[in-house]
Amino acid sequence: MNAATLASHRFGYSETSLRALQADPQGWVLAQFARPAPFDASGLIDSSKALQLTREVLQAARKAQQPPANPMPMDELGAMTPSRQTLRQTNLRGLQRRWEHVVATDTPVAERWVQFWANHFCVAATKGTTLALVWPHENEAIRPNAFGHFKDLLRAAILHPAMLLYLDNAQSIGPDSPAGRKRDKGLNENLARELLELHTLGVNGGYTQHDVTQTARLLTGWTLPPQANGAVRFVARLHQPGIKVILGKTYPEGPESLDMLLLDLGQHPACAKHLATKLARHFVADDPPAILVEALARRFLDSSGNLPALAQALFTHPLAWSDISPGKFKRPEELLLSAHRLLKLPIGGIGAVGGAAQALAAMGQAVGRAPSPQGWPDRSEDWLSPDALLKRVQWADQFAQAHPDSADARAMARLAWDDTLSVGTAQQVERAESGAQALALLLASPEFQRR
């Protein structure tokens, strides 16, 4: 596979033609990190309004069915009340804007970079309190910091209302704090555990259960006070008093300890290796070359977590451009967006977005509702099964039937893959009985299904 094809399909979302990047594929990729296309969030709901809307939805659901638990899972919200309909439309508008950006952006590789970090710091609308917060988290915490320094991205991601609610830190109270001595509530370790295991050090990062508990104590006090209108604040009466010892280092009592901890975690060798492995796995191969991972980890530490420097290290390394066969299996959302981008086909209105979201859910990816804080899995084996393959082929056929005149699939195959299209795929597309069948065969081909 030549460099232009790799730049388009491995690193981006599939270009209609390789002509614009054939002269300098690597330069095309790197230029996107110098000036990533801005995302237009105008008119979309922010986290404050999202929290208000969520409260209205939950209150309406409680009145209707008196659920036993709070927060209530999204699947138990009951009838489609006016407030719940508003919530659905709000989430679809956020998803529509995200998809429109991917399809139209001049910097698709930079957008893939944003989506990597959004999945790394995953929040999901799988519980009542986060129903409307997935897209505000991406737009307010991830996008503004994905091209800066990791320490700033880390802080913004975990101190956003979405993360504090998703991983329950908003309800965590120091047992020996003034509030803890009065209430029948206590410490919650969810955010602390994921901060160490998922966001920074990795599962084998050298921390212990003691470190998790001490981190949870350090995080107490960071919450969403009712009077703050959805803003995150440090509330001293909820904070566990005394020093905390994490990974052998002592941190003082109070809000300043959080920045100290995040800085130390971001400079830890285990964090560098964890992030380097995930990046190389996402952009290159399920089992990335150790030399590539080591090079990325070294650049991360040497640059103090400078994310553009990390991107440069990744996209200039020869192993990132090596022909690894078979390529990585696309997630369903990547499949859909690549098809729209390849065909230069707009996503459409909210109704179309809702239909597409249902199709993705049928293929195993309910966008915005990742199954766990780990986010969507990133190995081909997680998306590759007989049933999954069947549904992908069915999707390709349905997509082609819905857009039979959107493009000449035969000509587009040559433009988008040049001479790297396999003989088998080329022959099947050329021999198709109709334009719709040719498009379906191209979308179902290994070249399109993988990157």
| 179 belongs to a structural domain | yes
Considering 271, 305, 325, which residue would you say is the last residue of a domain?
325
Question: Do 293 and 348 reside in the same domain of the chain?
Answer: no
- The model's pLDDT over 99-118, given as tens digits with 9 standing for 90+, comes to 999 999 999 999 999 999 99
Question: Do 312 and 227 reside in the same domain of the chain?
Answer: yes
Instruction: Supply the pLDDT for residue 73.
Output: 53
Nearest to 147 by CA among 29, 305, 40: 305
| 161 belongs to a structural domain | no
If DSSP codes are grouped into helix, strand and coil, which group holds residue 250? strand
Query: Domain of 416?
Result: 332-449
Question: Do 302 and 374 reside in the same domain of the chain?
Answer: no
Query: Strand locations in 27-72, DSSP E?
Result: none
Contacts of 26 (CB under 8 A, 6+ apart): 3, 7, 315, 316, 321
- The model's pLDDT over 117-166, given as tens digits with 9 standing for 90+, comes to 999 999 999 999 999 999 999 999 999 999 999 999 999 999 999 999 99
| 193 belongs to a structural domain | yes
pTM of the model: 0.95
Question: Do 346 and 436 reside in the same domain of the chain?
Answer: yes
Whether omega for the bond prior to residue 175 falls within 30 degrees of 0, making it cis, is: no
- The model's pLDDT over 284-297, given as tens digits with 9 standing for 90+, comes to 999 999 999 999 99
Residue 44 has pLDDT above 90, yes or no: yes
Instruction: Supply the pLDDT for residue 228.
Output: 84
Instruction: Supply the pLDDT for residue 303.
Output: 98
Kindly state the DSSP code that residue 140 receives in the 8-state scheme. I
Question: Do 316 and 186 reside in the same domain of the chain?
Answer: yes
Longest dimension (CA), the chain: 75
Question: Do 178 and 298 reside in the same domain of the chain?
Answer: yes
Section 230-238 average pLDDT? 96
| 379 belongs to a structural domain | yes
Task: Give me the percent of the chain exceeding a pLDDT of 70.
Answer: 96
Question: Do 275 and 352 reside in the same domain of the chain?
Answer: no
Question: Do 340 and 239 reside in the same domain of the chain?
Answer: no
Residue 30 has pLDDT above 90, yes or no: yes
Question: Do 184 and 230 reside in the same domain of the chain?
Answer: yes
Instruction: Supply the pLDDT for residue 138.
Output: 98
| 369 belongs to a structural domain | yes
Question: Do 189 and 266 reside in the same domain of the chain?
Answer: yes
Counting the structural domains of the chain, the total is 2
Question: Do 370 and 227 reside in the same domain of the chain?
Answer: no
Round to whole Å and give the CA distance between 219 and 339.
Answer: 43
The H or E element that residue 145 is part of is none
Section 411-421 average pLDDT? 93
Query: Is the distance from CB of 309 to CB of 299 less than 8 angstroms?
Result: yes
Round to whole Å and give the CA distance between 421 and 427.
Answer: 10
Round to whole Å and give the CA distance between 298 and 296.
Answer: 5
Round to whole Å and give the CA distance between 367 and 383.
Answer: 15
Instruction: Supply the pLDDT for residue 79.
Output: 64
Look over the chain and give the mean of its residue pLDDT values, rounded to a whole number.
94
- The model's pLDDT over 56-65, given as tens digits with 9 standing for 90+, comes to 988 888 877 6
Task: Give me the percent of the chain exceeding a pLDDT of 90.
Answer: 88
Instruction: Supply the pLDDT for residue 68.
Output: 47
- Beta partners for residue 251, in sequence order: 244
| 253 belongs to a structural domain | yes
CA distances from 352 to 367, 403, 432 (A): 14, 13, 27
Question: Do 433 and 376 reside in the same domain of the chain?
Answer: yes
Residue 69 has pLDDT above 60, yes or no: no
| 88 belongs to a structural domain | no
Nearest to 293 by CA among 304, 303, 282: 282
Residue with tokens 């009951």: 78
Section 51-60 average pLDDT? 90
| 37 belongs to a structural domain | no
